[in-house]
Amino acid sequence: MLLGVDTGGTFTDFVCIDGTGLRVHKVLSTPEAPERAILQGIGELGLAGEAFRLVHGSTVATNAVLERKGVRTVYITNRGFADTLTIGRQARRDLYDLQPPPAPPPVPADLCLETGGRLGADGSVVEPLTDEDCARLLAAVAELEPRAVAINLLFSFLDDRLERRIETLLPAGLFVSRSSEVLPEQREYERGIATWLNAWVGPLVEGYVQRLQEAVAPAPVSVMQSSGLTLAARQAARHAVRLLLSGPAGGLMGARRVGRELGIDRLLTFDMGGTSTDVALIDGQVGLTSEGRIGDWPVAVPMVDMHTIGAGGGSLARVDAGGMLQVGPESAGADPGPACYGRGGREATVTDANLVLGRLRADAFLGGAMRLDAAAAQRAVADLAGRLGVGVQEAAEGVITLANEHMAQALRVISVQRGIDPAGFTLTAFGGAGGLHVCALAESLGIRRALVPVHAGVLSALGMLAAPRGRQLSHTVQARLAGQREAALAARFEALAAEGMAELEAEGVAAADIRVLRSLDLRYAGQSYTLNVPYTGLAQAAEAFHRLHRQRFGHRLDGEVELVNLRVGLRGGEPRVPLRAAAAGGGRPLREAALAGVSGPVPVWRRDDLPVGEALDGPLLVIDAVATTWVEAGWRLVRHASDCLLLERSRG
């Protein structure tokens, strides 16, 4: 029996595959102790005491970083480089703000320690690591009493022996991260940030995973990585920096699984939850990037390539000092949540606006499992309308329109701004609130086809179960691409892959089931940033780089191509996750409802009652146990045999 769990900012989602079928469930999250919501859901699903395997998407590392609540961490580097993380790239958040407020440094100055053991760019020893250096370092660490230590020596990716020596000298019980293990790549700032983040939140992840494992024992636990691959929970703390997009990565793996079922491999996805919206592009495979960010910091470890904004069902609507309506990024979260949750919230949110407009039904939220307080939503939106000087309906429509525009702009960032026409993709909506906005977003982007997957409200949890176990490994090899030899590169790739193979085999993945993907980070000589291309040979890689550079930036150069990093992705066999086969629907809507701004009654359908394969014209509402879908006028809906909803524009 398999259980996928995605802990979100508002809800914790569950998908259970028990051999007889697939069950879904939602409970309100408990951010102060995420495992409490998980145990509540396990109990409500009747799984307490049962044998199952848990695959989990955790927000513990993400929340700790965003809230700056990591543990006391010492940062060790070479002499003269203690300020590296504070100086960063000297990039200003607001380019034209000449007097920006000072930002707190990642690591306070008194926790930054300098020592010997400096290498040159060729790997030679510029300054040795002496016994006296080691003694001073140990004395300073003992005096500072940290819970974690991050070690980041210059050019350690060429030779990690000096970092390893420092690690072996540190007292037992300290959580230690080495840059040569966390991110063996060039760029001392990005490498240092990744190593510090890993150490800063590692003990928190370790404690959380340990509590969760004890609570669900003897069930084995796996954790989703930011790359869309899972790893055993016992290794999660060691790879804490690789868990920062754990939940959103699950959503993309779920979307990819659904797309393959329907024969659709080009998806433009948006995952709209209670707190935020994540958008991404899937063109056959889920794209990865090593240029992601979390909060104020770059995260150079591989993660799913997505763009996140603070727009969700719980996003707060307010009137700014100039009298203009604003929506987000602040959220009502799980507690108190939107006003309509009846938990004390008083400010209007996107969810409240949808309820006031009739697109959410108070008695059918989460399939009727949670009743919404329509009067509270009306009061919250009426208060907002009063401050804007407009009617209640107009205020609610304004909130939805503004939220839609925020999300449409995010979708343009991931597509149009990269030279990709979104019209060639299927807009795929999931998350608890995604189906309410899918038609409006598709129209704003010129997209004619849309998809609301089965179990859209818990697709991230479903994706946890669809994700294979795997690793992403990298190593810097900076040199002219034309000067490389195929045999030498093959040997380097083989050495890199061996490390990941050993870890996966230790998790029980058969060597014959492990697929190895090789790629190169390339750039034109003199450039600062790279593009990643698959490696099947040197000539093929060079041509693929030229094509990708033209697509991304509109031109190609005749200059020399430079190799920067080798990358190896390893993944085990993909688990078989069955989608629910759609049973023959009753063919009759549940009822009709009056919706604001729509002339005439609107049919309200239970998803299970929709006829399979028959086209229905909007406007209409579809409700199920985890989400609501709003099909606008001018759109046609077909329920697929897999129980997914396919939408197509029927006008224009």
- pLDDT tens-digit profile of 18-45? 877 788 888 888 888 888 999 999 999 9
How far, in Å, CA of 398 to CA of 300, rounded?
Answer: 38
pLDDT of residue 352: 94
Q: Are 56 and 222 in contact (CB under 8 A)?
A: yes
The identity of residue 279, as a single letter, is: V
Residues 83 and 195 in one domain: yes
Is residue 342 one of the residues assigned to a domain? no
Q: Is residue 333 part of a domain?
A: no
Structural domain boundaries enclosing 58: 2-66+205-246
What is the pLDDT averaged over residues 501-505? 91
Judge whether residue 344 has pLDDT over 90: no
Q: For residues 632-646, give the mean pLDDT.
A: 93
CA atoms of 404 and 388, how far apart (whole Å): 19
| Structural contact between residues 592 and 603, judged by C-beta atoms closer than 8 angstroms | yes
67 pLDDT exceeds 90? no
pLDDT of 651 over the 80 cut: no
Structure confidence at residue 229 (pLDDT): 92
pLDDT digits (tens, 9 = 90+) for 284-333: 888 888 888 887 889 999 999 988 888 888 889 999 989 999 998 888 87
16: CATH: 3.30.420.40
Amino acid of residue 356: V
Look up residue 81 and give its amino acid.
F
pLDDT score of 652: 60
Contacts of 588 (CB under 8 A, 6+ apart): 609
The larger pLDDT score, comparing residue 546 to residue 431, is at 546
- Is residue 112 in some structural domain? yes
Say whether 376 sits in a helix, a strand or coil: helix
The shares of helix, strand and coil residues in the chain, as percent rounded to the nearest 5, are 35, 25, 35
Please identify, among 201, 232, 266, the residue that sits at the C-terminal boundary of a domain. 201
pLDDT value at residue 184: 94
d(Cα 85, Cα 80) in Å, to the nearest integer?
12
Q: Under DSSP, is residue 178 helix (H, G, I), strand (E, B) or coil? A: strand
Same domain for 81 and 192, yes or no, is yes
Task: Tell me which of 273 and 605 has the higher pLDDT.
Answer: 605
Output the domain CATH number for residue 533. 3.30.1490
pLDDT for position 129: 96
Number of other residues whose CB lies within 10 A of the CB of residue 349: 32
Provide the pLDDT for residue 291: 86
Q: Is the peptide bond before 336 cis (omega within 30 degrees of 0)?
A: yes
* Residue 7 predicted with pLDDT over 80: yes
On whether both 51 and 155 belong to a single domain, the answer is: no
Distance (Å, whole) CA 594 – CA 361:
11
Q: What is the pLDDT of residue 176?
A: 97
With a cut of 70, say whether residue 497 has pLDDT above it. yes
Query: How does DSSP assign 233-282, residue by residue?
Result: GGGTGGGGGGGTTHHHHHHHHHHHHHHHHHT--EEEEEEE-SS-EEEEEE
Q: Given 201, 221, 256, which residue is the final one in a domain?
A: 201
DSSP classification of residue 612: B
**Omega within 30 of 0 (cis) for the link into 601:** no
Burial class (CB in 10 A: 0-12, 13-18, 19+), 234: middle
Q: 618 lies in a domain? A: yes
Q: In what order do the strands lie in the sheet with 620-623?
A: 591-593, 602-606, 620-623, 628-631
* Residue type at 340 in one-letter notation: C
Mean pLDDT of 371-376: 92
Residues 631 and 557 in one domain: no
Q: How far is CA 467 from the centre of its chain?
A: 14
Claim to verify: residue 501 and residue 552 sit in the same structural domain: yes
- The mean pLDDT of the chain is 91
15 and 38 part of one domain: yes
- Final residue of a structural domain among 540, 571, 602: 571
Q: Are residues 90 and 186 in the same domain?
A: yes
Least confident segment among 146-160, 193-207, 577-591, 614-628:
577-591
| 80 and 34 in a common domain | no
What's the rounded Cα separation, in Å, for the pair 504 and 514? 8
Domain count, the chain: 4
Is position 435 within any domain? no
Residue 148, SS3 per DSSP: strand
Same-domain check for residues 182 and 122? yes
Residues 195 and 95 in one domain: yes
Is residue 325 domain-resident? no
**Are 49 and 196 found together in one domain?**
no
Mind listing the pLDDT tens digit for each residue in 228-237? 999 998 888 8
- The confidence score (pLDDT) of residue 635 equals 96
394-427 pLDDT per residue, tens: 999 999 999 999 999 999 999 999 889 999 999 9
Q: Tell me whether residue 330 is in a domain.
A: no
464 closest CA partner among 11, 16, 65: 16
The answer as to whether 54 is a domain residue is yes
Residues 156 and 127 in one domain: yes
367 vs 350: CA distance, rounded Å: 19
pTM of the model: 0.85
The per-residue pLDDT for 564 is: 94
The residue behind tokens 């063919």 is 587
Which residues are within 8 A (CB) of 334 and not within 5 positions of it... i.e. 6 or more apart? 9, 10, 11, 28, 29, 30, 31, 274
